[in-house]
Structure 1
C-alpha cells in the first residue's frame, strides 16, 4: 500500500511539472527505433536531430578519442549511426536524455546538483571502463549505470520532504539503504526499476542496473558483466565524491573494489585502480569532478537559498491537497509527519490516533529510538490536568518552548517523561473534525539543542493549516481503518 502510494505520488509530481511525459515519450521513441533496426534508422536520426544540443553531443562523442578509430571525422548523425551502429547511438541518446532531464528539472539545491554530478561521474567511469570493447555493449552499460542512480535522483529532485528525512537519518549514522526503506517503504533500486519499466527500457538494462551478486548460475555472462560494470562504476564514483574522505583511505577502498571486480570485468586490478584514480587527478567527464568541488566550496551559500521552514510546511500542505480524500489514511499521515519533521528540523515526530475505545495511541513515528518506545506512547481521552489533554481540547496547535521548566514538568504525564524526558521543546497539533471531536494529535520535538528553539507565528499558522488539511482523510476513512493503522 505504502509502496504503491509513494510511486503514484512520485509520478504525479513529475507529471505536474510537465517534463516527465516528454521524457517518457522520447525514451520510448528512441528504444522503439533501436529495436526495429533498419526500419527505424530514420526515426532515430530524427530523434537526435529534433534537439540541437543532443545532435551536438552525439557528434562530439562520436568524434571523441575513444571512437576515433571507428569513424574519423563524423559530421552527420546518419554517419554516426552507420559507423557506430543503431544500438550504440540509441543507448548513447537514452543516456543523454536521462541526464538532460535532470539538468533541466533541478531546483537550486546543492544536494540535487551533487547527486546529479555523482551520477554523471559514474557514467564517466563506465564509459572509460568499456571504451576498448564493443561499442553497443559499452553504451548499454553506461545507460545501466545511469539508471542505477535514477531511483535516488527521482527522490532527490521530486520528493523534497522525504529526501530531507533520509538525510537526517544518514546524519544519525543510519545506512543509506536502511534509511531509504525506513522513510519511503521502498528502495532506490525498486524506484529505478519502476522507472525503467515505465520508460520501456529493455530487460538487459533492468537486469544490469541491479546489485551485483558474484557466482550467480541463473543469468548469462553478459548480465553478470553488466552488473559488474554498473556496480563498480557506481561504487568508484561514490568514493571519488565522498566528502572528507582521506586520499589514502579512498585509494585503499578503490583497491578493494578492483580486487573484487577484476574477474567479472576481465581486467587486471592495477588497471582498474589506475583508471579510477586518474579520474580524480584529471578533472574528468567534462569537468564533473571540478564542478563537484566547486559546489562543495560554495555549499554554505547555496544552502542559504533553500526554503525556510514555513515554506517547507506549506509545500507539504500542497502535497496533501493533491491527494484525493478517499486516499488511504496511512500515506497521508506519513506525509504530514515527515513534513513537520523536515520542515522544522525536529528530532522526532509521532502521530497519535484516537481508537474506538477513546484511547490515543501512537501509530507512527520518526526519529532515533522512536520505534522502541512506541508501545508506551498512549493516553486516555478522559480529562487529565496535563498538556496533552489541553491540546486535544484545542482547535489549534500548542508550542511548549521549554519543556524542562519546573512549571511545565508538572503538566507533563508520567508516560511522556519516561519516554521523551530529553525533549527541550515540542509542538502538539490536534486534528479536529467539524463536530469538534479530536481524532489525532501530531507531536514533534527538539531534544539536545544548546539553546531553546522557537516556532514563529507564521510557522504555527502553516502547521495549523496542515492539521486542518488532514481532517478530510479522517472524515473519509473506512470504518475500522483507524484501528488497523
Structure 2
C-alpha cells in the first residue's frame, strides 16, 4: 500500500482512502458482519442465547478461547468445577459476559496486522477500557448497562484501523501527542484533517452497530461531570472515563502521573459515584481481567504468561520503565496456543464421546440442583451436550403441541438450525413412519446409514424433502407412562458405522431422563 506523508493536497482524501481500504480488505467486512450479529443479540430473548451458543460453537478457535477465558481466575464463577460448555459458561458467567468476551476475541482475531506494535497497543488499550467499563456496569442503576462494555471496546476503533492501514500517519499523530502540544483530537485533525472519533462512528454504523451504542461516542466535554439524567448520558460518561482510566489498568507511563487518579475522581467522581477506594478496586479487577484476555487472545508471550502465573496476586503489570509509551503497552505476539482438536471418526463423532456426555450430564445435574435456571437455557445445554459429544450437524427437541395437532421442533442447534426448526413438524395422528414407531415402542433409534432401503421406506415425505442429505441420525423418544411427549432428533451428513457404545447409550438415556424431569418440573 502506497502511503503519502505529504498532508497538503492529500489530507481531504485520507478519510475516503482509509474507508476504501477497509472496505476492500477481504477479512474486515466479515469481521464487521460477525460483530454486528453478536452486538444485536439481547439477553432478554431466549432465542438470542441459542444464537450466541451456536455462533461460538461454529468456530472451534472461538469456542476454545471462550472456555479458557471462562475458566481463568479472573472470570471463573463461584463453582469450583471446570466450565466445559458454552451453555454452562452463559449460565454461570451471564449472557452479557460471554457476549462481550466473544466480541473482544473477534476484534483481536480479525484485526489485520496485529503483530505490529501500534496495532497491538490499540488492541490492548481497547481491552483495558472495556474491562474498566465492565466494572462500572456492575453497579450501574441503568438497565442493559452491559452495552457500555461494547461501546468502550470500540471507542478507539478509528485509531486501531489507522494503526493497521496507515501506520505512518498514526506515528505522526502519536508524536504530536507525546510532545504535549496537542490533544488526541487536535493531533488527528492536524495530520488527517478529520476527527478519528467521528471516523469511528462511521465505521460502527457501517458495521450496523446499534445507534444506541454509537451515540455513546459523542461525549460532551466537561471539567466536572454531573450525575447522569439518562442512560445515554451515563454511558457517555462511562466510556470517556474508561478510556482515560485505561493507563492505570495497564501501568503505563501515564499512570505514573500522581495526579491522574485525582483528575479522574474530580471529573467523574460525582457522576459515577466514584471514590478512591472504589477506583482502586475497579482498577485492580480490570487489570486482572485484561491480563486474562491478553493471554487468551495471543497478545502476551509465553514468558509473560509464566510471569503472570508466578505473580498471580500482583495488581499491576510489572513493566520496566521503557523508552516510550508504546514499548510499555506493547506485548510480544505469539501464535495462539490452541488445544489440539479431539480425534474424531470420519462421521465427526469424537472418540471420547462418553467422556463428553458425562461432563454434560454433570453440568445439567449441577444447574438443576441450583434451582436457578430457565428451562430454555437448560434445554440448550442438553442440546449442546448431544451436539458436541456425538458430532452432529443439526439437533432439535421436538415436542407435542396439542392445540396445533402436531409435533413441533421447539429448540435446536446446528447448521442453519432456524430454517430446519421452522419446518420440522409432523402430525400427531399415528403413522407408520420412523418417528411415530420410535415413540410407540419407546425405542431409541441409532441409524448409522440412512440410505438403506429398510430405513428409507420408513422416512416420511416431509423429512426427505427437509433433510435429504441426512446420512446418519438418531431418534430419542420422550415417553412417560406411555404418554408421548416428543423426541430428540439429530443427524450428520455422513454415515456413522462406528455406531454407539453401550456406555454412550447409558449416558444418552441419562440425558433423556434429565430432560423429562426438567419438562415436568418447570
| Aligned partner of 1:265 among 272, 275, 296 | 272
Q: Where do residues 331-370 of structure 1 align in structure 2 (5 Å cutoff)?
A: none
1:255 correspondence with 2:252: no
Q: Corresponding residue for 2:59? A: 51
Residues in 2 aligned to 1:162 and 1:16: alpha-carbon distance in whole angstroms: 20
Q: Corresponding residue for 2:468? A: none
1:414-441 Cα distance to aligned partner (Å, 9 max, x none): xxxxxxxxxxxxxxxxxxxxxxxxxxxx
Residues in 2 aligned to 1:8 and 1:36: alpha-carbon distance in whole angstroms: 39
Q: Corresponding residue for 2:190? A: 182
8 Å CA contact 2:125–2:246 kept in 1: the answer is yes
| Aligned partner of 1:78 among 65, 78, 87 | 87
Q: Corresponding residue for 2:110? A: 101
Q: Where do residues 453-472 of structure 1 align in structure 2 (5 Å cutoff)?
A: none
Residues in 1 aligned to 2:121 and 2:47: alpha-carbon distance in whole angstroms: 40
Q: Corresponding residue for 2:133? A: 126
Q: How many angstroms does 1:150 deviate by?
A: 1.0
Over 3 Å counting, the alpha-carbon distance change for 1:31 and 1:236 in structure 2 is closer
TM-score, with normalisation over the residues of structure 1?
Answer: 0.51
| Aligned partner of 1:25 among 33, 39, 44 | 33
Q: How many angstroms does 1:130 deviate by?
A: 3.5
8 Å CA contact 2:100–2:150 kept in 1: the answer is yes
8 Å CA contact 2:69–2:292 kept in 1: the answer is no
Residues in 2 aligned to 1:298 and 1:291: alpha-carbon distance in whole angstroms: 14
Q: Corresponding residue for 1:156? A: 163
Over 3 Å counting, the alpha-carbon distance change for 1:241 and 1:2 in structure 2 is farther
Q: How many angstroms does 1:154 deviate by?
A: 1.0
Over 3 Å counting, the alpha-carbon distance change for 1:16 and 1:281 in structure 2 is closer
Residue 265 of structure 1 aligns to a residue in which SS?
Answer: coil
Over 3 Å counting, the alpha-carbon distance change for 1:101 and 1:87 in structure 2 is same
Residues in 1 aligned to 2:28 and 2:289: alpha-carbon distance in whole angstroms: 34
Residues in 1 aligned to 2:141 and 2:93: alpha-carbon distance in whole angstroms: 10
1:235 correspondence with 2:244: yes
1:89 correspondence with 2:101: no
Residue 18 of structure 1 aligns to a residue in which SS?
Answer: coil
| Aligned partner of 2:283 among 247, 269, 276 | 276
Bigger helix share: 1
Residues in 1 aligned to 2:54 and 2:120: alpha-carbon distance in whole angstroms: 30
1:145 correspondence with 2:166: no
Residues in 2 aligned to 1:19 and 1:8: alpha-carbon distance in whole angstroms: 19
1:182-201 Cα distance to aligned partner (Å, 9 max, x none): 12221121111112111111
Q: Corresponding residue for 2:429? A: none
Residue 189 of structure 1 aligns to a residue in which SS?
Answer: helix
8 Å CA contact 1:114–1:295 kept in 2: the answer is no
Q: How many angstroms does 1:118 deviate by?
A: 2.0
8 Å CA contact 1:166–1:179 kept in 2: the answer is yes
Q: How many angstroms does 1:23 deviate by?
A: 0.2
Q: Where do residues 219-234 of structure 1 align in structure 2 (5 Å cutoff)?
A: 221-234=230-243
Residues in 2 aligned to 1:19 and 1:295: alpha-carbon distance in whole angstroms: 34
1:205 correspondence with 2:213: yes
Residues in 1 aligned to 2:279 and 2:209: alpha-carbon distance in whole angstroms: 29
Q: How many angstroms does 1:28 deviate by?
A: 2.4
CA-based RMSD: 4.3
User: Please, which runs of 5 or more residues in structure 1 have no aligned partner?
Assistant: 304-485
8 Å CA contact 1:121–1:285 kept in 2: the answer is no
TM-score, with normalisation over the residues of structure 2?
Answer: 0.48
Over 3 Å counting, the alpha-carbon distance change for 1:257 and 1:213 in structure 2 is same
Q: How many angstroms does 1:142 deviate by?
A: 1.8
Q: How many angstroms does 1:72 deviate by?
A: 7.1
User: Please, which runs of 5 or more residues in structure 2 have no aligned partner?
Assistant: 1-8, 295-299, 301-315, 331-522
Q: Corresponding residue for 1:353? A: none
Q: How many angstroms does 1:135 deviate by?
A: 12
Residues in 2 aligned to 1:54 and 1:67: alpha-carbon distance in whole angstroms: 18
